[in-house]
Amino acid sequence: MLSLIVFLPLVGVLLITLLPKKFEAAAKWLALVTSVVDFGLVIALLTRFKIGSAAIQFEKEIAWIPQVHIYYHLGIDGLSLPLLALSTLLIAIATLASWKITVKPRLYFAMILLLSVGLSGVFLSLDLVLFYLFWEIVLIPMYFLISQWGGPRRQYAAIKFFLYTFFGSVFMLVGIAALFIYTGSFDMIALRHLTAGLGSGAFGTVAWWIFAAFAIGFAVKIPIWPFHTWLPDAHVEAPTAGSALLAGIMLKMGLYGFLRIAVPILPQAFHHWQLILGILAVVSIVYGAAVAFAQTDIKKLIAYSSVSHMGFAMLGIAAGTAAGFSGAMAVSISHGLIAAMLFLLVGVVYERTHTREIAKLSGVAAAMPRYAGLFCFASFAAMGVPLLSGFVGEFLSLLGSWGSAALPHVLVVIAGVGILLGGAYMLWLMQRFIFGTPSAAIEGQPEISARELTTIVPLAVLVVAIGVYWTLLLQYADPIARMLQKLVGA
C-alpha cells in the first residue's frame, strides 16, 4: 500500500516520457489522473488508519543492502500521515494549477510527479539511508521546475536553492553516518532505543554534535534564521505551482526531520539545544515578519511570511512539551494549506498581469470581488484568526512554549508580538493589493475562473474544517506529541 503510494507517480512519469511530442498536451491529463489517484490511495489509507496510537502502521521492511543494515523500510504514523495527505493533495492541486504550462509540458509534469515520489518517500521512509535518498530526490525536480519554468532570475535562484539545501543535507548525511558508527543501525524507530542505551556519558558530547549536524540540515530546509536566504529567491522565481509546493510541503520536511529524527533519537542532546532553537525560532518569527513588511514584491512578502510562520513551528518543537509538538505539527499542515493558497492566488493575478509589484496591483476587490474575498480569507487564515487553521498551530505553540521549563516566558511574549507583526504585513498587503481603486494592470481583468477556484476551494475547506474542529488534525498529532514528550522527558 505505502509502496504503491510512493511509486505510483513513477508510472505516470514513465507514461509521460513515452508520450510522443504530438500528444504532449496530454501530459497534464496523465499527471492529473495519476496524482488524483495517488491522493485517493492516501484517503483510502486514512480510513484504515488506526487513530489514537503512536505506533507505526502499515509497516513494510525488506532487506535492501543487508550487509550494511540498509533496509527498504516504510511505515506510517500520526506524524507522517497528515503530511503525506497534504503532500499528495498539493501535488494534485499543483498539477491543476499548471494547466496553462505550454513550454515543454512533458518534462514539467514528469517533474511534478517525480517530486511526489520524493515527498511521499521522505514522509514514509523509516530507514535513514532511504530517507536521505528521497530527501535528495526532492531537490532534483524542484531544481528543474525553478530553472526551466521560473521567473527572470530563475537560474540564479535554482542553483542557489539546490546548493544551499544541499549544503544542509551534507550535514545531515554526516549525522546519519555518525549515528550508524555508534549504533550500527539506520532504523529510525529502533535508533530511539539504541541511543538511549548508549547513555549520556561519553556519547553525550558526540550526541550534541550529531544533533547539531541534523539541526543544520533541517534548519536550512525549514528555514530557520539565518539559513533562510535561499527561500525568498526560490519562492519568487519558481512558477506558481513550484512556489505552492515549496512553501506548502517542502519546508515541512525540515520540521518533520526534527520530529522524526533529531528529537526522538537524540532527546538528551535536544535538551541542550532547546534554548538555542527557541531563540532562533523567535528571531525567525519577528525577523521574518519585519522583513516581510518591507517588501514591494507580493511573492517575496509571502515568502518571508513563511520564515515567520515556520518560526512558530520551531518554537513549538523547541518547547519540548506535548502542546508544543502538537502545535508544530498543526503549523506544518495549516501553513501548508494557507501558504499554498496564497501562492496560488498570487499566481492567478500574475498570470493575468505578469507583474508581482504590489504598487502596480491595487483595487483587486473592485475588479475581481470573488478573488478578493478568497484572498482576504487566506490572509485572515495566515494572520491566525480563530476558527481558521492558522490559529490552532500558533496558539498551541505559544501554549506549549509557555509551559516549557526550557524556554523563558519572555520568548513567548516576543513570539506573541510576532503574531501582531503578522497582522501588520498582511493587512498592509491587503490595503495595497485588494482595496483602493483598481490600477491599470488590474482594471478589467476577468474574475477567478472555475479551474482556478477548484485549486483553492479544497484548501479553504480544510482551513475552516481544521480551524473549527481541531480534533480532525490533532487526533493524529496528539498521540505522537505525547510520545515525544515522554521521550524528551519534559
Partner 1 sequence: MNWFFLIPVFPALGFIALVFLSRAWRNRLIYIGPVLVGLSALLAIIGFIRYFPGRVIGQPFASLSWTLARLGGVRLTLSLGLDSLAILMLAMVSIVGFCVQLYSLFYMKDDERRGWYFCVLLLFTAAMLALVTSGNLLLIFAMWEVMGVCSYLLIGFWYKDEAPRRASIKAFLVTRAGDLGFFVALAAIWSACGSFQLDAIIKAAPQFSAATLLVVGIGLLWAAAGKSAQLPLSVWLPDAMAGPTPSSAIIHAATMVAAGIFMIARMMPVISLSHVALSLALWVGIITALFGAFLACFQTDIKRMLAFSTISQLGLMFAALGTGAIDGSLFHLITHAFFKSLLFLAAGTIIHVTGTQDMRKMGGLAKRMPIMMTIFSIGAFALAGIMPLSGFFSKDLIMEEFLTHGHPVVFALALVMATLTALYVVKAWFTVFFGASRQEKSHAHEGTLLEIVPTAILAAFTLLLGVFNQGWLGCLGFKVEMPTLQMASISTGVMLIGALAGFLLYRFRIDNDWLAKHAPWLLRATEARLYTDAVYEYLIIKPYFWVSALLWRVDARVIDGAVNGMVALYGGLTKLAEVTDSRLIDGAVNGIGAGYKRLTAVAWIVDARLIDGAVNGVGAGLKQAGGLAKKAQVGRIHAYQRAVVGAVIVLLIIVLFVVFVVLKGVA
Residues 15-74 close enough to bind partner 1 by CB under 8 A: 67-68
Q: Which of residues 385-444 bind partner 1 (CB under 8 A)?
A: 385-387, 391, 395-396, 398-399, 402-403, 412-413, 416-417, 419-420, 423-424, 427-428, 431, 434-437
Stretch that binds partner 1, among 22-30, 338-346, 363-371, 448-456 (CB under 8 A): 363-371
Shortest gap between Cβ of 246 and partner 1 (angstroms)? 17
Stretch that binds partner 1, among 34-42, 80-88, 318-326, 448-456 (CB under 8 A): 318-326
Complete DSSP assignment for 271-290: HHHHHHHHHHHHHHHHHHHH
Burial class (CB in 10 A: 0-12, 13-18, 19+), 327: buried
Stretch that binds partner 1, among 12-20, 157-165, 260-268, 331-339 (CB under 8 A): 157-165
Shortest gap between Cβ of 231 and partner 1 (angstroms)? 10
235 neighbors 145 (Cβ within 8 angstroms): no
CA dist 261 and 249 (Å) reads 18
Burial class (CB in 10 A: 0-12, 13-18, 19+), 403: middle
489 in contact with partner 1 (CB under 8 A):
no
Shortest gap between Cβ of 277 and partner 1 (angstroms)? 19
Stretch that binds partner 1, among 80-88, 149-157, 243-251, 268-276 (CB under 8 A): 149-157
471 in contact with partner 1 (CB under 8 A):
yes
**CB closer to partner 1, 101 vs 142:** 142
Q: Which of residues 288-307 bind partner 1 (CB under 8 A)?
A: 290-291, 293-295
Figure out which of the listed residues 19, 26, 177, 206 binds partner 1, where binding follows CB under 8 A.
177
477, 478, 484, 490 alpha-carbon torsion, rounded to 10°: 140
Complete DSSP assignment for 394-451: HHHHHHHHHT-SSS-HHHHHHHHHHHHHHHHHHHHHHHHHTSSSPPTTTTTPPPPPHH
Figure out which of the listed residues 7, 29, 99, 167 binds partner 1, where binding follows CB under 8 A.
167
**CB closer to partner 1, 41 vs 302:** 302
Greatest Cα pair distance in the chain:
70
Q: Which of residues 319-358 bind partner 1 (CB under 8 A)?
A: 321-323, 326
CA dist 386 and 401 (Å) reads 19
Using the 8-state DSSP alphabet, how is residue 51 labeled?
T
Shortest gap between Cβ of 106 and partner 1 (angstroms)? 25
Shortest gap between Cβ of 414 and partner 1 (angstroms)? 10
What are 113's three cell numbers? 510527479
**CB closer to partner 1, 11 vs 453:** 453
Count, residues near partner 1 per rule CB under 8 A: 73
Q: State residue 344 phi and psi, 5-degree precision.
A: -65, -40
284 in contact with partner 1 (CB under 8 A):
no
93 neighbors 347 (Cβ within 8 angstroms): no
C-alpha of 127 from chain center: 21
Ramachandran region, residue 125 (left: φ > 0; alpha: ψ -120 to 50; beta: rest): beta
Q: Where are the alpha helices (DSSP H) in 76-201?
A: 80-97, 105-124, 128-149, 154-183, 190-197
Figure out which of the listed residues 37, 366, 453, 487 binds partner 1, where binding follows CB under 8 A.
366
Shortest gap between Cβ of 237 and partner 1 (angstroms)? 12
363 in contact with partner 1 (CB under 8 A):
yes
Figure out which of the listed residues 29, 64, 99, 156 binds partner 1, where binding follows CB under 8 A.
156
219 Cβ contact list (under 8 Å, min separation 6): 168, 227, 254, 280
**CB closer to partner 1, 109 vs 162:** 162
**CB closer to partner 1, 117 vs 330:** 330
Shortest gap between Cβ of 288 and partner 1 (angstroms)? 10
Figure out which of the listed residues 36, 54, 137, 173 binds partner 1, where binding follows CB under 8 A.
173
**CB closer to partner 1, 166 vs 209:** 166
Shortest gap between Cβ of 437 and partner 1 (angstroms)? 6
State how beta strands 70-76 and 57-65 pair.
Answer: antiparallel
367, 373, 375, 376 alpha-carbon torsion, rounded to 10°: 120
| CB environment 63-74: b (16+ within 10 A), e (fewer) | eeeeeebbbbbb
Q: Which of residues 179-238 bind partner 1 (CB under 8 A)?
A: 180-181, 184, 226, 228-230
328 neighbors 218 (Cβ within 8 angstroms): no
**CB closer to partner 1, 342 vs 398:** 398
Figure out which of the listed residues 140, 159, 196, 275 binds partner 1, where binding follows CB under 8 A.
159
**CB closer to partner 1, 360 vs 482:** 482
**CB closer to partner 1, 35 vs 295:** 295
> Measuring CA to CA, how many Å separate 166 from each of 142, 148, 160, 336?
12, 19, 9, 22
Shortest gap between Cβ of 271 and partner 1 (angstroms)? 18
**Secondary structure element (H or E) that encloses residue 255, with its range:** helix 251-257
**CB closer to partner 1, 28 vs 221:** 221
Shortest gap between Cβ of 325 and partner 1 (angstroms)? 9
